[in-house]
Structure 1
Amino acid sequence: MLKKILILATGMLLQLLSSFAANTENGKNQEINLIPIPVKVENRTGSFNITSATKLVADASLKGITDLFAAVLHAPTGYQLRQAESDNSGIHFTINSTYNPTLGNEGYILDVTPTRIDISSNKPAGLFYAMQSLIQLLPKEVESSVKVEQENWTVPCVKITDYPRFGWRGLMLDVSRHYFPKESVKKYIDQLAKYKMNVFHWHLTDDQGWRIEIKSLPELTSIGAWRAPRMGTWWTREPRAKNEPVSYGGFYTQDDVKEIVKYAQDRFVTIIPEIDVPGHSLAALAAYPNLSCTGGPFNVNVGNVFYTKEDNALCPGNEQSFAFMDKVLTELATLFPAQYIHIGGDECYKGFWKNCPKCKKRMTDEKLKTVEELQSYFIKRMEKMVISKGKKMIGWDEILEGGLAPEATVMSWRGIQGGVNAAKMNHPVIMTPDHNCYLDLYQGDPAGEPPTYSMLTLRTCYNFEPVPAELTDQSLILGGQGNLWTESVPTYRHAEYMTWPRAFALSEVFWSQKTSRNWEGFIHRMEANLARYDVANVNYARSVYDATIRPIKKSADKPMQITLVKELDDLDIYYTFDGTFPDRFSSKYTDTLNIPKGADTFRMITYRNNQPVGKMITASIKEIEKRSGSK
């Protein structure tokens, strides 16, 4: 009897161990590393295995979504997943027969069991976002663009209930300073949509290039889209020489635009076009100099200093400026189905307006006391024009100056105060303050990064709160976006480097509930998603693993000192002042450092778990002194 009991007990133990191993393999202990973090996640035992026989069960009207999902899986798996109208197993995409107010228009429920996956939402957009979560639940190899030899494509059993905090979740790409081909723009849209962002703000015009075909104004692209080629740091470049060829640039034809708009629509992304006026118009003036106060001639700017020295604004006293903009907006409105058109309105130098006879006459006729009121006059006419095309107008927060247009939406970039002021005037606001959302800024120590200006770390992005506590009507904050200006971004690979992972942080700020956000948890999930980007060959910055040098200005009784700041608590910093390369056997940073007499070079590197994880960063003592203002 005892022998039988022992055999039975042994068998039960082996069964339990086998069950544990299967559950571990099939998803019980598989981590859920979703970005942005969902509202609610219920972990379960087991997993669902996707095979070549798995059916995508959906109404025929949802074929666009199921085709996208099938296309994502086809490259790495080789599977040709088919849509079916009914099946007891498979992956089910369902629009709710009764509207669930908790989910809204973009929320979803994703329910994974060992036998089937159920996705439900009120609207197709919710199914699309559930699909993005489902893809993130699959092994990272699903991101590959070529077939991967892998036996199991498993999804851990889980139930996710999710919906966004804000309706406006965007990224802006500036294609004026550097032109990015059509396929790169599509890739950017793909990447932002994967992380549940739904707005692509397309900065199409500026002093350095006009990038969209306007058929009634052909010189905008035949002249305004091209400039003399240059390299070197922005604002230090030599101006275009007389008769120097203009070969750098490009533009999007209207057929290109239609193709990109359709591509975005299929991914539930709205494209907001921006034509930046009245300032930032040098490329337009190169094509049509009669629209300026001074008459030109003008060259498309190559990145040389010109602001306040050269006229770059449309003349608000010239009625031809408004006829020009009417043609532009007419064609723009037919190309972009979005309800908004962005007209810029930022950083307009008004010095040339003060001496312009046409501007003086306009101010007299309209009883305008200042050039700020003259800009407001221009913007208000833009709004009437935009409304006449069946659209709404957005402008940067400078449009508040001189009086805000009656129905304008304000994009607040100079901090949040412009947004606060606009909201208190009952205007909708999109929050995109430069100190939280400008992705062209340094994301690590300048000594270890490509040249740009100012600083925006990953942690600062993640800590952004778009809704100011002082607002009584918080519904006026539509959401926010990250902005990638490209003066210092000459290639698409570098655009990716500047965008990710900071856009991971912003996607969570704009989608996830405020109470769900947690820095340490985010970093863990970020690292899992960076591994996915490695598979997908998407570039990104590892600056969060580096330390930053913070100099302390020396005084008469104290030598020059520096502190070293890290974003991740589990990093160790090692340094040298003697010109050698530090490693984990070098001096370890613990507190403020005195710079030794005679030292001319400082180097540092970060380690995690005794392994190098950051870049070797080298800075001259002279450069550090410059940062502090010491001499």
Structure 2
Amino acid sequence: MNKLFLFLSCCIFTANTYAQSIVSETEIGESESAVSPKLIAIIPEPVSLMKKAGTFTLPENVSIQASKSADLKQSIEFLSQRITTATGKSVSTPVSVTHPTIKLILNTHEDAQLGLEGYKLNVNPTQIVITANKPAGIFWGVQSLIQLFPAEIESKELVANVKWKAPCVDVIDYPKLGWRGLMFDVARHFFTKQEVKQFIDDMVRYKFNLLHLHLADDEGWRIEIKGLPKLTELGAWSVKKVGTFGDFIPPTADEPRTYGGFYTQEDIKELVQYAKERFVNILPEIDVPGHSLAIIASYPELSCTPDAVNYKVRSGEKIMDWSRGAPPLALVDNTLCPANEKVYVFLDSVLTQVAKLFPFEYIHMGGDEAPHNFWEKNEQIKALMQREGLKTMPQVQAYFEKRVEQIVISKGKKFMGWDEILEGGVSPTAAVMSWRGMKYGIQAANDKHNVVMSPTDFAYLDYMQADVITEPKVYASLRLNKAYQFNPIPASANAKYIIGGQANLWTEQIFNFRQVQYMVWPRAFAISESVWSPIEKKNWTNFVERTEEQFKRLDLAEVKYSPAIYDPIISVKRSPDKQLMIELTPEIDGLEIYYSFDNSTPDRFYPKYTSALVPPKDASMLRIITYKGKQPIGRLISLPITDLQKRAR
């Protein structure tokens, strides 16, 4: 009978369209249903997950046994710390024991299916076993194991009265892409070394393995370069401003420039080591020739413009005119001068040290949004164009990029830039990070350039994730359901050359680390699944269910996140008779929206939204709130009618 039951369970699993299945009470037994998680909520979705009968219970004394324990030190320490902190159980790592609680095994003969980062996870009623070819696979297997235990295992303090059980499963898992990145802009606002470490800790929970550090921009230079002290004496500091970045009043000459900071070379070494221990590479970015005001404020002789001697690091005042789109018109010249040989000497000095500090094979050199209007009237640039046979400004920038790439290569590294580097012609060996949609990445891959997909359409985490009334205002929006549609390997691209995908967090409007977390999560869940999981495993409804389970974990881990999926999408239009019509569309299923026009606070006893609303003639405010069943789950949102009327125009 038991064998028949198991056979039927396997058949049911095989017929399922996605691996993360909701476990029925008949499958796990009546007595266990109250303590076992009904939803196996691993993010990113594993390649294969089979639910088996029964559960595993952590004993009072947990033994972790590892083959080649020195190679698995980080996985052992991570797992031990997580178990002891939340459960209070003791953990030991004996060299040999008859039946260890958890076994971590490096394969003596490599499993070709698993590659460098894959793993197998087997949870049985009496033992847990994780196997992999490499230590990274064990580490990622441990992240999945942690997500099988109750959410309280994420707690930073002892949690009482929890039954520490995990469902019995067999998991086979490996990533779709080797480059699974998050970009953290520490230039617009400086974030401390400890905050960068926290960013790494947050990202490895969901199997990201590449931290792209944006280290230089108009607002700050963030890395010590020996022999070029002004970069950190002048270039790392601005006037502190609070409000809407980009609209600040220009600072006066006597306002103190004490806001900012930088990482010493010892700080960088520490961060690189910290990341390495968590199987994360760090990609440094020095953004040139545009976005270089911090460099020019430090060393104005690197500019094409004599007025640069008066330039200061940007504090958030307007320095670009974007009215005609990209590239913008510069109000101050924030570009390095491609016709100035001192620029290449400077970059050689910088990259010599950057290459030694960061062991990762690539250095990102920016190349985006470089304004050309100051170049167009510069005599040095005109002479360069005549000498080199250059006809257009994109060709001038291409000349610059090719020379910079040769400097990067001379340091034993590979060159990468934003997709603008394609515009004037680019070296065949240059790698491209495609941000202006997917088309440039597709073009570059088909031209046999290595490509990392990070398109604004799906992967820009600085964009608003809910209605503008609830968010720091940014010029575009990216809801979670849109981020989940990210496919980094489009059918029309040469997949061989797409080496990765990533999401980017620019920090103009982000002033503190709690807001960093709010902007990253949960949209980075969607990105992690896009770059790790097979595309056929994607299922929006199931993803939402798993995301809600992860919210409980982030609460206990004290990681901030956005609850925007519970806020409706608000759209307004005019009816044929010019009446204002307000439509409220839930992003996820199972929500009900209640509203008021009478300035009071609605709850579930108020009118429920069923169709487009027309405000009463003298109403001044629409208030809405979202419920799931009898519980309020969305934020109370107050929308002035005058604001809605402006949107309709």
Please indicate the TM-score interval, normalised by the length of the shorter structure. over 0.9
**Partner residue, 2:526:** 505
The Cα offsets for residues 388-438 of structure 1, whole Å up to 9 and x where unpaired, read as: 111111111111111122211111111111111111211111111112111
SS of match in other structure, 1:393:
strand
Aligned runs of 1:511-550 on 2, under 5 Å? 511-550=532-571
Among candidates 484, 500, 512, match of residue 479 of structure 1: 500
Measure how far apart 1:176 and its partner are. 0.8
Percent identity between matched residues is 46
Gap change, CA 1:86 and 1:272, over 3 Å in 2: same
**Partner residue, 2:429:** 407
**Partner residue, 1:305:** 318
Among candidates 24, 29, 39, match of residue 33 of structure 2: 24
Among candidates 259, 262, 269, match of residue 251 of structure 1: 262
Q: Distance in 2 between matches of 1:235 and 1:554?
A: 36
Q: Distance in 1 between matches of 2:583 and 2:488?
A: 30
Q: Distance in 2 between matches of 1:367 and 1:488?
A: 42
The Cα offsets for residues 506-564 of structure 1, whole Å up to 9 and x where unpaired, read as: 11111111111111111111111110111111101101001121111466x33222211
Q: Distance in 2 between matches of 1:173 and 1:157?
A: 37
**Partner residue, 2:187:** 176
SS of match in other structure, 2:402:
helix
Among candidates 146, 150, 169, match of residue 158 of structure 1: 169
The Cα offsets for residues 333-362 of structure 1, whole Å up to 9 and x where unpaired, read as: 001110111111000001111112221221
SS of match in other structure, 2:469:
helix
Among candidates 467, 485, 489, match of residue 489 of structure 2: 467
**Partner residue, 1:40:** 48
Q: Distance in 2 between matches of 1:611 and 1:77?
A: 30
Q: Distance in 2 between matches of 1:331 and 1:42?
A: 49
Among candidates 68, 85, 97, match of residue 108 of structure 2: 97
Q: Which moved more, 1:300-309 or 1:88-97?
A: 88-97
Q: Aligned letter for 2:522?
A: P
1:60 equivalent in alignment to 2:69: yes
Aligned runs of 1:5-404 on 2, under 5 Å? 20-24=29-33, 27=36, 30-58=38-66, 59-61=68-70, 62-87=72-97, 88-150=99-161, 152-295=163-306, 296=308, 297-307=310-320, 308-404=330-426
Measure how far apart 1:594 and its partner are. 2.7
**Partner residue, 2:455:** 433
Q: Distance in 1 between matches of 2:143 and 2:547?
A: 15
Structure 1 runs (4+) deviating above 4 angstroms are none
Measure how far apart 1:483 and its partner are. 0.8
SS of match in other structure, 1:549:
strand
SS of match in other structure, 1:588:
coil
**Partner residue, 1:581:** 601
The Cα offsets for residues 443-487 of structure 1, whole Å up to 9 and x where unpaired, read as: 11111223333110011011122222222x212222211111111
Q: Which moved more, 1:568-577 or 1:388-397?
A: 568-577
The Cα offsets for residues 157-190 of structure 1, whole Å up to 9 and x where unpaired, read as: 2111111111111111111111111111001101
SS of match in other structure, 1:94:
strand
Measure how far apart 1:39 and its partner are. 1.1
Measure how far apart 1:24 and its partner are. 3.5
Aligned runs of 1:452-463 on 2, under 5 Å? 452-463=474-485
Measure how far apart 1:376 and its partner are. 0.6
Q: Aligned letter for 1:48?
A: F
Indicate if the aligned counterparts of 1:26 and 1:156 stay in contact, CA closer than 8 A.
no
SS of match in other structure, 2:583:
strand
Indicate if the aligned counterparts of 1:577 and 1:596 stay in contact, CA closer than 8 A.
yes
SS of match in other structure, 2:93:
strand
Among candidates 491, 494, 497, match of residue 512 of structure 2: 491
SS of match in other structure, 2:227:
coil
Gap change, CA 1:606 and 1:502, over 3 Å in 2: same
Q: Distance in 2 between matches of 1:63 and 1:602?
A: 56
Measure how far apart 1:493 and its partner are. 0.3
**Could you state the TM-score of these two structures normalised by the residue count of structure 1?**
0.94
Indicate if the aligned counterparts of 1:63 and 1:83 stay in contact, CA closer than 8 A.
no
Q: Distance in 2 between matches of 1:159 and 1:444?
A: 38
Indicate if the aligned counterparts of 2:62 and 2:90 stay in contact, CA closer than 8 A.
no
Q: Aligned letter for 2:77?
A: D
Indicate if the aligned counterparts of 1:416 and 1:431 stay in contact, CA closer than 8 A.
yes
**Partner residue, 1:565:** 585
**Partner residue, 1:626:** 646
Among candidates 423, 430, 442, match of residue 464 of structure 2: 442
The Cα offsets for residues 567-599 of structure 1, whole Å up to 9 and x where unpaired, read as: 012111122233332222322222222333333
Measure how far apart 1:30 and its partner are. 4.4
Indicate if the aligned counterparts of 1:26 and 1:46 stay in contact, CA closer than 8 A.
no
Q: Distance in 2 between matches of 1:301 and 1:63?
A: 44
Q: Aligned letter for 1:24?
A: S
Q: Distance in 1 between matches of 2:589 and 2:413?
A: 48
1:607 equivalent in alignment to 2:598: no
**Partner residue, 2:15:** none
Indicate if the aligned counterparts of 1:448 and 1:618 stay in contact, CA closer than 8 A.
no
Measure how far apart 1:216 and its partner are. 2.0
Gap change, CA 1:553 and 1:271, over 3 Å in 2: farther
Number of residue pairs aligned between Structure 1 and Structure 2: 610
Indicate if the aligned counterparts of 1:23 and 1:45 stay in contact, CA closer than 8 A.
no
Measure how far apart 1:41 and its partner are. 1.1
Q: Aligned letter for 1:55?
A: S
Q: Distance in 2 between matches of 1:278 and 1:80?
A: 55
**Partner residue, 1:11:** none
Indicate if the aligned counterparts of 2:64 and 2:100 stay in contact, CA closer than 8 A.
no
The Cα offsets for residues 66-88 of structure 1, whole Å up to 9 and x where unpaired, read as: 12222222322344523233333
Q: Distance in 2 between matches of 1:360 and 1:450?
A: 42
SS of match in other structure, 2:476:
coil
Gaps of 5+ in 2: 1-24, 321-329
Indicate if the aligned counterparts of 1:275 and 1:343 stay in contact, CA closer than 8 A.
yes
Q: Aligned letter for 1:552?
A: K
Indicate if the aligned counterparts of 2:29 and 2:54 stay in contact, CA closer than 8 A.
no
Q: Aligned letter for 2:633?
A: V
Q: Distance in 2 between matches of 1:625 and 1:278?
A: 42
Q: Aligned letter for 1:66?
A: I
Q: Distance in 2 between matches of 1:586 and 1:366?
A: 72
Q: Aligned letter for 1:303?
A: G
Q: Distance in 1 between matches of 2:350 and 2:91?
A: 44
Measure how far apart 1:22 and its partner are. 4.7
Gap change, CA 1:26 and 1:567, over 3 Å in 2: closer
**Could you state the TM-score of these two structures normalised by the residue count of structure 2?**
0.91
